C-alpha cells in the first residue's frame, strides 16, 4: 500500500506509528463529541415525545397517592398534549375532594371502577374546566361509573361520555348527573339513573354549550323543578340533539306543585329523533315534554302522554303520540319498566316488550352519533348491532330479532346489514335461546374468517338447502358447536347447505339438523361431514354426501346418542374405514328409513364401521360392519349387506 496517496499530514509518514496515533487523536475526540451530542439530542427528542403523549395507569383504589386515579389526573394536567389514563384495578374509589381535569385526557375505565363522592358535601366528583372560557380541551370518559356525589360531573369543555353509568347522585343545585355550561357535550351508550337535582335531575344544559345524546337511557331521575331528566337553560344558545334515547320513569314533581314539571323541559327548540319519552310522572302538570318553543325537529319518536307532547303531532314525521293520538300510552305495552343489565351489557336498559310500537319504527338515516355517523350498535354495545331487522327500533334498546340480510362474511357489516357471523356472535353474547332467520339472501355465502362458532342455545332457520350454501375455504370447519363447558346447549340448524370445510360441523352439544345438505367437506383425520363428540345428535330429512376423511367420511360418531331418520348418506369416502359412518367410543346410534349407499372405504366398513356402542337399523339399503372390540374378526362374521358400499382389502377392525 502506498501511504503517500492518503491525505495524512507529512508527520504521519516521517515519524512512524506513534506520530500517526497522536495526530489522529484530536480528530477522533472531535468525532466522539459530535456523536455524544447527537445522542443527547435524540434522547431529548424521544423523552419530549413521551411527555406530549403520556399514558398513566391506575393501579389502586386510593383517594390519592401513587397509582391512584387522582394522581394520574394530576400527572396528566401537569403535562401538555393529549394523555391517556388506563384503569387496571376493579372496585370503588371513595374521593374526599373533587377530581379536577384541566387538560386533554382520555380515561379508559372499562366499567372497572365506581367513583363515589361525598353526597351532601357540596362538592362535585369531577370538575372539567381548564379555566379558559375561550378554549375548550377534549376530554373522554370511557366506561366510567360515578355515584353518591352532589353532582357527578360539572363540565365546561368538550366532553365525551361513552358506555358509562352516572347514577344515584343528589344535589340541591342544577344537574345532579351532569351540569354542562360550555363547550360540546357528547353522550353515547350510557345510563343516567336515580339522580336528584333541583332542576335537571340527570342533565342540566347551560347557556352556551351544545349537546348530543344518543343510545342512552335516562330513567328514574327526579326534580322538584324543571326537567327531571333534562333541563335546558332558557338562554341556551347551543344546539341540543337527542337520538335513540329512552326517557322513562322520571319524576318531575317531587314537590307536588305541578309547575314547570316535565321529564324534558326546554324553552328553546331542541331536536328529538328515534326516542322514547313515556311513562314519566307528574301529578298535575306535563309529565313527558315541556317545550315552550316547540321542537326544532322531531321524527320517529314515541311520546307517551298526548297532553305533554311538546308540540309533536301523532302520525306526522313518523311520531307516535299517546294512545293512537289521544290520552296516555300504557307503558307496559311499550317497554319493560324494570331497568336491567339486559344481555350482560355494562349499562342498564329498558327492553322493549313484544308488539311494542317502538320496534322497527325508527329512521335508519337519523340513527346517528354526535359526529353524524351511523350508530353501529345499540346501547348494549358490541356485538348487539343497532339495526337487526332492517329498520332501527325507537329508543336506546334494540330488540334481538336476528334476520341475516347479506351474503358477506363479516364481523362488522354496514349499519343496515347483518351477517350470519355477526348474528351468531350476538347469540353467543346473549344468554338464553335465540333464533336466526334469513331475509332475501340466496346463493353462496363464502366463509373466509374461520369457523362459525356457536356457544349458546340457538336455532338457525335457513331459506332451504337449495337456496343458500355456506362455502368454506378448505382450511377451516364451517361450524364448531361447543360452549366450552361440560354442560349441553341446544342447537338446531334447518334449511342450509354446508360445503368445502375441513369438517362441515364439529359438534359437542345437543344438535338437531333438519333439511340440510352437507357435502364436499374434506378432512385428513376423522370425520368429514359431521363429527359428533357428545350430547344428542339428530339428523332428519337431510343429505350427507361427497365428503372425505381418513375415517368417517360422512359421519364420525364418538359418543352420546345419534338418531338418523329419512336421511341419505351417500358417496362419502374414508381412506382408513367407515366411508359413510364411523362409530366408536360408545355412541348409541339409531337409523330409520334412511339410505346408506355408494360410500367407499380403503379399509373396513364402506357404509358403516362401528367399533363399540349399540346400533339399530331398519333402513332400506345399508352396509353394517359391527365390531364390539378391537382385533381381527373372522371372515365368516363379516357382513356386507349392500354391494353399493365397497370395502377395501383391510380385514381388521
What pLDDT does 155 receive? 97
- Residues 611-632: pLDDT tens digits? 654 544 444 333 333 332 222 2
pLDDT at 22 over 60: no
Angle, CA of 228, 210 and 279, to the nearest 5°:
25
The helices-and-strands tally (H runs, E runs) of the chain is 4, 54
Q: Check residue 413 and give its pLDDT.
A: 74
Give the residue with greater pLDDT, 392 vs 255. 392
For residue 118, pLDDT beyond 70 = yes
Q: What is the mean pLDDT of residues 325-353?
A: 96
Three-class SS of residue 110? Answer: coil
- Looking at residue 619, its pLDDT comes to 44
Q: What residues have CB less than 8 Å from 66, skipping those under 6 apart?
A: none
β-strand 271-273 against 297-299: which pairing, if any?
parallel
Averaged pLDDT, 217-243: 91
pLDDT at 42: 44
Helix (H, G, I), strand (E, B) or coil at 307: helix
Please write the tens of the pLDDT for every residue from 554-610. Answer: 999 999 999 999 999 999 999 999 999 999 877 889 999 999 999 999 988 889 888
Residue 385 grid cell: 348491532
Q: Does the structure show a pLDDT above 90 at 23? A: no
Confidence at 414, pLDDT banded by 50, 70, 90: confident
Mean pLDDT of 290-299: 92
Provide the pLDDT confidence category of residue 284 given band limits of 50, 70 and 90. low
Taking Cα atoms as reference points, which of 538, 491, 500 lies closest to residue 519? 500
Computed over every residue of the chain, the mean pLDDT equals: 86
| CA 578 – CA 574 distance, rounded (Å) | 6
Q: What is the pLDDT of residue 440?
A: 73
Asked which of 119-133, 280-294, 324-338, 627-641 is least confident by mean pLDDT, the reply is 627-641
Q: Can you give the pLDDT at residue 160?
A: 98
Q: Stretch 33-44: mean pLDDT, rounded?
A: 45
Instruction: Please tell me the pTM assigned to this model.
Output: 0.81
Q: Using 50, 70 and 90 to split pLDDT, how confident is the model at 642?
A: very low
Interacting residues of 413 by C-beta distance below 8 A, sequence separation 6+:
385, 406, 419, 422
Pairing state between β 297-299 and 302-303: unpaired
pLDDT score at 258: 55
Q: What is the pLDDT of residue 432?
A: 85
pLDDT band at 409 (very low <50, low <70, confident <90, very high): very high
Amino acid at each position: 500500500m502506498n501511504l503517500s496517496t492518503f491525505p495524512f499530514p507529512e508527520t504521519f509518514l516521517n515519524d512512524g506509528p506513534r506520530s500517526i496515533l497522536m495526530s489522529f487523536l484530536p480528530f477522533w475526540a472531535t468525532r466522539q463529541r459530535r456523536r455524544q451530542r447527537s445522542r443527547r439530542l435524540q434522547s431529548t427528542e424521544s423523552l419530549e415525545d413521551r411527555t406530549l403523549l403520556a399514558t398513566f395507569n391506575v393501579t389502586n383504589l386510593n383517594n390519592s397517592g401513587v397509582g391512584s386515579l387522582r394522581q394520574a389526573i394530576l400527572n396528566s394536567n401537569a403535562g401538555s398534549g393529549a394523555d391517556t389514563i388506563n384503569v387496571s384495578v376493579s372496585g370503588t374509589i371513595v374521593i374526599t375532594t373533587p377530581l379536577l381535569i384541566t387538560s386533554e385526557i382520555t380515561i379508559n375505565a372499562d366499567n372497572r371502577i365506581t367513583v363515589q363522592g361525598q353526597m351532601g358535601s357540596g362538592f362535585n366528583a369531577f370538575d372539567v374546566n381548564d379555566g379558559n372560557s375561550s378554549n375548550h380541551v377534549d376530554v373522554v370518559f370511557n366506561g366510567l361509573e360515578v355515584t353518591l356525589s352532589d353532582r357527578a360531573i360539572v363540565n365546561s369543555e368538550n366532553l365525551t361520555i361513552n358506555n358509562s353509568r352516572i347514577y344515584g347522585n343528589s344535589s340541591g343545585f342544577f344537574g345532579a348527573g351532569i351540569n354542562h355550561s360550555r363547550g360540546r357535550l357528547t353522550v353515547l351508550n350510557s345510563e343516567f339513573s336515580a339522580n336528584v337535582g333541583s332542576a335537571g335531575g340527570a342533565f342540566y344544559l347551560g347557556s352556551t354549550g351544545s349537546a348530543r345524546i344518543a343510545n342512552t337511557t335516562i330513567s328514574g331521575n327526579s326534580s322538584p323543578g324543571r326537567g327531571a331528566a333534562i333541563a335546558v337553560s332558557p338562554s341556551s344558545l347551543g344546539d341540543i340533539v337527542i337520538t335513540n334515547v329512552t326517557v322513562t320513569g322520571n319524576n318531575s314533581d317531587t314537590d307536588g306543585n305541578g309547575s314547570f314539571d316535565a321529564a324534558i323541559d326546554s324553552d328553546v327548540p331542541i331536536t328529538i329523533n328515534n326516542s322514547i319519552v313515556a311513562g314519566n310522572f307528574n301529578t298535575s302538570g306535563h309529565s313527558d315534554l315541556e317545550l315552550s318553543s316547540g321542537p326544532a325537529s322531531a321524527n320517529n319518536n314515541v311520546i307517551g302522554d298526548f297532553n305533554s307532547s311538546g308540540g309533536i303531532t301523532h302520525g306526522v314525521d313518523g311520531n307516535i303520540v299517546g294512545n293512537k293520538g289521544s290520552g296516555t300510552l300504557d307503558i307496559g305495552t311499550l317497554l319493560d319498566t324494570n331497568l336491567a343489565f339486559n344481555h350482560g351489557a355494562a349499562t342498564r336498559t329498558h327492553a322493549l316488550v313484544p308488539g311494542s310500537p317502538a320496534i322497527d319504527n325508527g329512521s335508519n338515516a337519523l340513527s346517528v352519533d354526535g359526529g353524524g355517523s351511523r350508530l353501529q350498535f345499540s346501547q348494549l354495545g358490541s356485538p348487539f348491532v343497532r339495526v337487526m331487522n332492517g329498520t332501527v327500533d325507537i329508543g336506546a334498546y334494540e330488540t334481538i330479532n336476528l334476520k341475516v340480510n347479506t351474503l358477506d362474511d363479516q364481523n362488522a357489516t354496514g349499519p343496515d346489514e347483518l351477517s350470519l357471523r355477526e348474528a351468531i356472535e350476538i347469540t353467543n353474547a346473549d344468554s338464553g335461546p335465540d333464533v336466526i332467520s334469513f331475509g332475501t339472501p340466496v346463493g353462496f355465502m363464502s366463509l373466509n374468517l374461520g369457523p362459525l362458532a356457536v356457544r349458546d342455545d340457538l336455532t338457525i332457520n335457513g331459506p332451504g338447502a337449495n337456496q343458500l350454501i355456506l362455502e368454506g375455504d378448505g382450511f377451516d370447519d364451517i361450524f364448531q358447536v361447543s360452549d366450552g363447558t361440560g354442560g349441553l346447549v341446544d342447537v338446531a340448524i334447518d334449511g342450509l347447505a354446508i360445503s368445502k370445510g375441513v369438517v362441515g360441523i364439529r359438534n359437542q352439544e345437543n344438535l338437531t339438523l333438519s333439511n340440510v345438505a352437507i357435502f364436499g367437506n374434506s378432512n385428513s383425520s376423522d370425520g368429514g361431514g359431521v363429527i359428533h363428540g357428545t350430547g344428542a345428535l339428530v339428523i332428519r330429512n337431510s343429505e350427507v354426501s361427497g365428503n372425505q376423511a381418513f375415517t368417517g367420511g360422512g359421519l364420525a360418531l364418538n359418543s352420546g346418542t345419534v338418531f338418523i331418520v329419512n336421511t341419505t348418506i351417500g358417496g362419502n369416502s374414508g381412506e382408513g374405514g367407515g366411508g359413510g359412518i364411523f362409530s366408536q367410543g360408545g355412541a348409541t346410534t339409531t337409523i330409520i328409513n334412511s339410505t346408506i349407499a355408494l360410500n367407499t372405504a380403503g379399509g373396513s366398513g364402506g357404509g358403516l364401521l362401528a367399533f363399540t356402542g349399540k346400533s339399530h337399523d331398519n333402513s332400506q339399503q345399508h352396509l353394517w360392519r359391527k365390531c364390539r372390540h378391537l382385533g381381527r374378526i373372522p371372515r365368516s362374521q363379516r357382513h356386507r349387506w349392500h354391494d353399493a358400499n365397497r370395502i377395501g382389502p383391510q380385514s381388521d377392525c
